Chain A
């Protein structure tokens, strides 16, 4: 009997966890399909199916352009971080040299930097190189959170690889660069996918730098565009459009996360850094 009650409680708790996790996203989806006055009637189940909000958010304004901006910026940031990260990770995990732990500690502390602490200094840099309101300002500044994370996680991955493989390569006379390209890359690609994905998500979601360093609608990234999406008047918030835009940017992320679930969890726990 006691066991039965325990089981019921367990599954009730499980149900609560699932409902609380999924409900807000579910509610955003059903809201995004409502239009007109239906929007302002609370409903718990899907009650309408209209694509008006999606059509208007993608055709009016610059949201489509914002999506491309976000894709370009996040993609470039991931590529650069992985490139710099994998070589650095090889050196940090495999070569013993003075100052190695100092470098690891520095990388870790940079990943804990409050973004706002570098905001004024970055603004000066970006302004001096005339990058304000260009994607390059964001690509440059996003390295502050993607690079330490990438280096840190890739270092832990390289450390776990068996040393024998590269010893064989060294005996065969391979240079360090060759070892990275020919030996590590093929072994590392699952790690690269995980780290790249987590770096992509954090770049895709970034708000503070994007808000500060972009000035015009066409240069904004998706999070800033959604935050600033406004209606005809100040008092008329276009909730339908906002929810449609939210669903558009979230669905790919959720799909990616569900596909790479296991890899993401191992990457998160290895990095210990919020993505």
Chain B
């Protein structure tokens, strides 16, 4: 009993120092006018970083703060769009890959090893590898598409506002589908074989078996996988920051916060943006767990 707390205290202290306290300080900074150049002296400014109305000498009213910044709203929209599309595609592709890997064939271990490679590659490295493949002049993707006559001119994938988000999605889906596939595969392997056997003997169409038997049975595992992926996608930073720098079409909420904190010297606004991201994520998680009645222990 007492030794339980003795064993837990160091871990709890470290988590409090590295997560709890910094989170509280971030929230606090969001309500002050802290700046990097004058870090020690700050004043409480209330909700000004979120929304404020300034009256110019001319009498004209100007709105300021996070909620009045169109760039932030664009970042919110980008993040939502990225999360929905990437998680949807990763779930569908992950399901396909998991179903393939669940079949028995020669060399299954090798294929499973092959799909782990995208997962093992560091995000920054995969961003650079894909940036090179997507290069407008010398990239192999444009070369393949030109040879197949799918495009008539080379595309500047990462720079063009119309394709930048598609490029980010492509890389993320490539990198993260293996993770989804493995989680779903673990769920699939828990489905007892007798069920398939019985369905086969009764002559049930395999597609019907999938919709009526497999999918309902792996639903808990699928829900856990989707929520973890969605939470992860929502805070995306590194891929976007490296693959499509300074692009308003792809800037995520994390990128917006980091840029304001350290690159644009608007530390207080950046803190407010970080807090907003945290609040949105927390609300989303609680709602999802409540609506989906996800049992998080189901993933164990």
Contact = CB atoms under 8 A, between A and B. Distances in A.
A257 B232 contact: no
Nearest to B24: A121
Contacts of B231: 112
B201 to A, nearest CB: 17
Interface string A1-36: 000000000100110011011101101100100000
B120 A253 contact: yes
A97 interface: yes
A91 B8 contact: yes
Nearest to B101: A17
Contacts of A140: 17-18
Interface stretch (B62-70, B160-168, B211-219, B266-274): B266-274
B78 interface: no
B44 interface: no
B15 A147 contact: yes
A143 B13 CA distance: 11
A8 to B, nearest CB: 13
B138 A14 contact: no
A22 B117 contact: yes
Contacts of A218: none
Contacts of A239: 132, 135, 138
B174 interface: yes
**How would you classify the secondary structure of chain B's contact residues: helix, strand, loop or mixed?**
helix
Contacts of A91: 3-5, 7-8
A116 to B, nearest CB: 4
B115 interface: yes
Interface of A: 10, 13-14, 17-18, 20-22, 24-25, 27-28, 31, 39-42, 44, 84-85, 87-88, 90-92, 95, 97, 103, 106-110, 112-125, 127, 140-141, 143-144, 147-148, 151, 156, 175-177, 201, 204-205, 207-208, 212, 222-224, 226-227, 239, 242-243, 246, 249-250, 253-254, 256-258, 261, 264-265, 268-270, 272-275
11 contacts: A21-B114, A22-B117, A24-B126, A114-B281, A121-B21, A121-B22, A239-B132, A243-B129, A250-B120, A268-B179, A272-B228
Interface of B: 1, 3-5, 7-8, 10-12, 14-15, 17-19, 21-26, 29, 39, 96-97, 100, 103, 105, 109, 111-130, 132-133, 135, 137-140, 143, 174, 176, 178-179, 182-183, 186, 224-225, 228-229, 231-232, 234-235, 237-238, 241-242, 253-254, 257-258, 261-262, 267, 270-271, 274-275, 277-278, 281, 285, 296, 299-300
